[in-house]
Homo-oligomer: A and B are copies of this chain.
Amino acid sequence: MLKMKDDDKILLAHGGGGKLTRDLIQKVMLKYFGNPILSPLKDSAVFELKGQHLAFTTDSYVVKPLFFPGGDIGKLAVAGTINDLAVVGAKPLYLSCGLIIEEGLELGLLQKVLESMQETARNAGVQIVTGDTKVVEKKGADQLFINTTGIGIIAPDHSLDESGPQIGDKILINGGLGEHEASIISSREGFDFESEIISDCAPLHDLIQSILRVSRKVKWMRDPTRGGLAATLNELVEGKSFGIRLQETQIPVKDAVKGICELLGFDPLYMANEGKVVVIVAVEDAERVLEIMKSHPLGGDSCIIGEIVSEPMGRVVMKTEIGGHRIVDMPLGEMLPRIC
């Protein structure tokens, strides 16, 4: 890790999901806030309250443009927080909505965002129960930021296997990489591709609950957002006594996403997703979980993309299409434009 000094400046990359984000969280946030509930750094805090296991998570959404193919900041804010609850095995129940609005925003635009939030929440069986609105001066914010914080409840018979990943466990994903980030970049840059790239932004709780219903051997789940699959898997293996081997030929990437990657020199492994979940499951349950994922509307392109291996410890490697091996490292800084 790099040293951090008081007169260092916060960089965009500190929010990018890579090494600098990890350093900021581990060396600064944990230094002040560290406690037994926060420190595991799961997607949601999990705690017991009067015999119930609750999950609690927060996320601020600062995406631009506010509207993009396949979604908008409102849908993203509701789906993203639902997903952070879902990956710890919780059924999402209640959300808060904190708006920070730049003076001068059109009311009609705000209403479209709120409508989208409500529709996404209603479809997911979740209620937005408390809110707050702040307005700041022109150029004091970028149009609209949304914080959503969520509460969910973990049913004992739908929880994860807390023993953690073991050598031989399989790694699954419910579809193609990079669709959210590619959609944002192409709508921001005004690219005119033949086929528009649609963000995968979607609430995953129903898919995830159906996985937990068919297997009690799900070891780990996470939605690979900022920093993509590469950052998510590197966070998992860092400092652990196991590694991950991916099979490049098995990793689904849509042609339209490949196209934008070739054009701009991006790597889908590092691109943000908003409707994907990485699932690690014991080998004996892998086919059953794959089957249930494939039968779900949000999992038609599900694949087994790799496995937990003993070597190299603490690293992610990928067997490439041409048969070699490539190390998939944690992203360092700004490999890609800021999109969240």
Interface residues of A (CB under 8 A from B): 4-16, 21, 24-25, 28-29, 32-33, 35, 37-38, 44-45, 47, 49-52, 54, 56-60, 62, 93-94, 96-108, 110-111, 114-115, 117-118, 127-137, 139-142, 145, 147, 149, 151, 153, 338, 340
Number of copies: 2
Q: Report the bound CA distance from A334 to B25 in whole Å.
A: 38
Which residues on B sit within 8 Å (CB–CB) of A51? 50
Closest 10 CB pairs of A and B: A15-B135, A6-B108, A149-B149, A58-B96, A45-B129, A45-B130, A147-B147, A32-B114, A37-B129, A8-B107
Beyond A12-B137, A33-B128, A338-B136, whether A147 also contacts B107 by CB under 8 A is: no
Which residues on B sit within 8 Å (CB–CB) of A7? 106-108
Beyond A12-B137, A151-B151, whether A4 also contacts B129 by CB under 8 A is: no
Q: Report the bound CA distance from A69 to B321 in whole Å.
A: 62
Beyond A9-B105, A134-B62, whether A118 also contacts B32 by CB under 8 A is: yes
Q: Report the bound CA distance from A107 to B105 in whole Å.
A: 31
Chain B, residue nearest A20 (CB): B135
Beyond A32-B117, A37-B127, A105-B9, whether A25 also contacts B133 by CB under 8 A is: yes
Chain B, residue nearest A114 (CB): B32
Q: A58-B97, A141-B145 are in contact. List 6 more A-B contacts (CB 8 A).
A: A10-B103, A10-B105, A11-B103, A33-B114, A33-B118, A151-B151
Beyond A97-B58, A101-B15, A107-B28, whether A131 also contacts B10 by CB under 8 A is: no
Asked if B29 and A133 make an inter-chain contact with CB atoms under 8 angstroms apart, the answer reads yes
Asked if B107 and A56 make an inter-chain contact with CB atoms under 8 angstroms apart, the answer reads no
Which residues on B sit within 8 Å (CB–CB) of A134? 15, 60, 62, 340
Would you mind naming 17 contact pairs between A and B with Cβ atoms under 8 Å apart? A5-B107, A10-B102, A10-B104, A10-B135, A12-B135, A29-B114, A29-B131, A35-B127, A38-B131, A45-B96, A47-B129, A49-B93, A60-B98, A60-B100, A60-B147, A98-B149, A134-B340
